[in-house]
Amino acid sequence: MSQMAVTFNQVSHYFDELRALNDLSFSLPEGKLMALLGHNGAGKSTLIKMILGLLDPCRGEVSVLGQTQNQNLASKAASSDIGYLPENISFYDKLTGHEVLSYFAALKGVSARAVAPLLEEFGLAYAQHKAVKGYSKGMKQRLGFAQAILSRPRLLLLDEPTVGLDPQASQFIYHNLKQLTDQGCTAIVCTHELQLVEPQLDLALVLGRGKRLAFGTLDELVLNCGLGVHMAHPALAGLVATHPLLQSFYRDGDLICPVSQREVLMKYLTLECQLFDVKVTLPDLAQVYHAKMAQMQVMSELGLSLTSGEL
């Protein structure tokens, strides 16, 4: 059985009266990439800070790389086991890029020899002896990512890593991330860029107002939120008249069926209707996300609490 890199067990965190995280539970196995999603103020950065030990749970228990918060999680932020890219990263900007990474290398017990190759890898070698105050936003973000992976950590926490990056640089970050997770690193990526993260994620956790709205693989999320699979074929309109079973799925020229009935319907189309080249479109992460947010809105308008768990 795989080991868990991070476990939250009924965790709540309050800022005065505001419950930023509300009875949150999930377990993230080692070597997986989890997308952490949710609206502004949903609690994503709070969750990451709790993993780092920068915030303590007011209720419940957080366990990170086999240690609970009672076993001195507070030291985790500086640990070489964890790499962290905060949102809105800023550096002491009189230092050069090389000096910044050298500082973090010393802090994390990494050889200074690791710095130059990393700057090269991140396309910053040409600017390594320039003060960071002369870096563009994207250059600072690259430096931040390099800083986070400097110690080849077991757990990587990235809070909006591709904000401000050009499309190629964003692809580069995700490509790099994929290589790290393939080598066994666990990653939590907090992002609003759903299209970018979708091809890379193993699991997604969707938060809404501090609560878990959904957790699982993309397939599990699609199944759970009841979205339909679209099936398209030019012959469908004609077939509906002769095959009454299709009528209940037929909408605006396509068939739309629950994910759970997809296999059965496909079998029917091939065996009974002799259709072999049906175009099947599964809901994507953005559709899942918007469905979850819409469900949360409806629940809230109906005055129903989300305390009974997942929607």
Q: Is 60 exposed, middle or buried (0-12, 13-18, 19+ CB in 10 A)?
A: middle
Burial class (CB in 10 A: 0-12, 13-18, 19+), 206: buried
The CA distance from 90 to 190, in Å, is 18
22: contact with Mg ion by CB under 5 A = no
38 binds, among ligand ATP, Mg ion, none (CB under 5 to 8 A by kind): ligand ATP
Window 39 to 58, contacts with ligand ATP (CB under 6 A): 40-46
Q: Look at residues 143, 192, 136, 144 and name the one whose alpha carbon lies nearest to residue 166.
A: 136
Which is nearer to Mg ion, 32 or 44 (by Cβ)? 44
Return the half-sphere exposure (C-beta side, CA atoms, 13 A cut-off) of residue 6.
Answer: 31
Which residues in the chain belong to E strands, given as ranges?
Answer: 4-15, 18-29, 33-38, 59-64, 67-68, 82-85, 155-159, 186-190, 203-208, 211-216, 228-232, 250-251, 254-258, 279-281
20 binds ligand ATP (CB under 6 A): yes
Q: Which of 1, 2, 17, 18 binds ligand ATP (CB under 6 A)?
A: 18
Q: If contact means CB under 5 to 8 A according to the sort of partner, which of ligand ATP, Mg ion, none does residue 43 touch?
A: ligand ATP
Q: Which stretch binds ligand ATP (CB under 6 A): 37-45, 93-101, 134-142, 172-180?
A: 37-45
Smallest distance from Mg ion to CB 48, Å: 8
Please name which of 218, 167, 215 lies closest in space to residue 38, comparing C-alpha atoms: 215
Binding to ligand ATP (CB under 6 A) within 60-119 occurs at 87
Instruction: Report the partner that residue 41 touches, choosing among Mg ion, ligand ATP, none (CB closer than 5 to 8 A by kind).
Output: ligand ATP
Contact range with ligand ATP by CB under 6 A, out of 34-42, 138-146, 180-188, 233-241: 34-42
Q: Is residue 38 at the binding interface for ligand ATP, with CB under 6 A as the rule? A: yes
Q: Which is nearer to ligand ATP, 20 or 218 (CB)?
A: 20
Note whether 102 binds Mg ion by CB under 5 A: no
Phi, psi of 274 (to 5 degrees): 55, 35
Residues lying near ligand ATP in the complex (CB under 6 A): 15, 18, 20, 38, 40-46, 87
